[in-house]
Amino acid sequence: MTDHPFTEPPALDASTDPNDETFGDVIFPATLKTAPEYDAVLAGEPYDGAVIGRQGASHGPSGIRTALAGTKSHHFDAGPVRSVGDLGDVAAVAGAYTTMEPSEVQAAVREVVAQIYAADALPVFLGGDNSLSYANVAPLVETGSVGVVSLDAHLDCREVQGEPTSGSPYRQLHEAGLDAFAVVGARHFETSTVYADYVREQGGTIVTAEAVGLDTAPVVERVREAMAGVDRVYVSLDLDVLDAAAAPGVSAPTPGGLTTRELFRHLRALAADDRVVGFEVVECAPRLDPTDRTVRAAARAVAHFLSALDTGPTNG
C-alpha cells in the first residue's frame, strides 16, 4: 500500500467575498501524514457496485464536495467550522465496479481505512454505497470495543449469499465481532421480520422514524444506552433515512422518513460524544435528483456533524 493511496483532492470553489466564508474556504488538501492536524478529514469512496436498488452513489463524493464548498461555514450555536482536511478519493475503488467483485472492493478499502485510523485521524467518508460500511468499521472492530449508530430506513443485516451487497454490511460486522448496534429512523414496512429479529437477537436497538418524529430527547437517551458499553462510536448516515420528499436521489427513496431538521439535530447530538471515531454519508446519488435537494441535504449533514465535534449537544 502506498503512503497516500488516494486520488488528488479536488480544488473547491471558495467565496469571492472575504466576509462570506464557505466550506470551500476552510477545507484543505491533506495526506495521511498531515491528517491528524485537522479535526476531521474527508475521504471519498466513489463506488456503487454492490447496491441493491438504483445505482448512482458513485457520484456521491464529487457531488457532496461541490455542495459543501458552497455551504456557509457558520453555525449559530457552535460558531464557524475551521479545521477540515480532504484526503481525496480512495484510489482503489475508482471505477472498481467494472473490474472488481464487491468483496475485493471491501478488502481494498478496508486496508486504506485502517491507515486513516492508524494515523489517529477522524475520517468523514463520502460514499458510495452502504456495502463499504463494513470496510469503514471493520478495522475498528479488530482493535477494541466499538458500536455503530446507523441512521437508516433499513437494517442492512442480510446474509451474504455469494457477494456482499449494500444490504449486508451489519451482518458482516456482527459476524466480525461488533459490540453494539443501534438503528435510528428505521421505517415501518421496509424490512422483514427475520431481520428485525436478528438485530434484537444481537442485542441491537431499533428506533423507528415515527419515534424520532414524536420526541428527540428519548431517542437520544436510547442511543446513549445502546452505546454505553463501548469505547468508540462510529456514525453511519444512509440518506434514505430522510423522507423521499427531502431526499429523492437515493437508492431506495420511500415516504415516512425523517425531516432534515430532525436529522441534523440527531447528528449534532451524536457528534458531540467524544468517543466518536468516524462518520460516513452513503447512498447519495446526485444524478437521480435533478433538484439537488438530496446532495444539499448530504452536504449540510456533514456540516452539522463537523460543527458539533468537541462541543456539547445543542438543539441545532
Buried b (16+ CB within 10 A) or exposed e, 57-70: bbbbbbbbbbbbbe
Q: What is the pLDDT of residues 245-256, one digit of tens each?
A: 999 999 999 999
> For the whole model, what pTM was predicted?
0.95
3-state secondary structure of 89: strand
pLDDT at 278: 98
Query: With pLDDT > 70 as the criterion, what percentage of the chain qualifies?
Result: 96
Q: What is the pLDDT of residues 296-311, one digit of tens each?
A: 999 999 999 999 996 3
Task: For residue 139, report the phi and psi dihedrals to the nearest 5 degrees.
Answer: -60, -30
pLDDT at 296: 98
CA distances from 135 to 131, 147, 238 (A): 8, 15, 15
Banded model confidence at residue 316, pLDDT cuts 50, 70, 90: very low
The alpha carbon torsion through 153, 145, 141, 31 (nearest 10 deg) reads 90
Grid coordinates of 46:
466513489
User: What are the beta bridge partners of residue 80?
Assistant: 74
> Cell 466480525 maps to which residue?
176
Residue 27 is given by DSSP the state E
Would you say residue 119 has pLDDT above 90?
yes
pLDDT at 252: 93
- Of 3-12, 71-80, 287-296, least confident by mean pLDDT is 3-12
3-state secondary structure of 182: strand
pLDDT at 97: 63
Question: Taking the domain 23-139+231-308, which CATH number applies?
Answer: 3.40.800.10
Quick one: the chain helix, strand, coil %, rounded to 5?
40, 20, 40
Task: For residue 178, report the phi and psi dihedrals to the nearest 5 degrees.
Answer: -55, 135
Cβ neighbours, 10 Å, residue 43: 29
Candidates 218, 222, 291; CA nearest to 253 is 291
Write the burial class of residue 261 (CB in 10 Å: 0-12 exposed, 13-18 middle, 19+ buried). Answer: exposed
User: What are the beta bridge partners of residue 266?
Assistant: none
pLDDT at 227: 98
Residues 263, 260: Cα–Cα separation, whole Å? 5
Q: What is the pLDDT of residues 175-231, one digit of tens each?
A: 999 999 999 999 999 999 999 999 999 999 999 999 999 988 899 999 999 999 999
Q: Which amino acid is at 185?
A: G
pLDDT at 10: 87
Banded model confidence at residue 96, pLDDT cuts 50, 70, 90: low
Sequence spans of domains, the chain? 23-139+231-308
Task: For residue 232, report the phi and psi dihedrals to the nearest 5 degrees.
Answer: -135, 150
> Cell 415515527 maps to which residue?
210
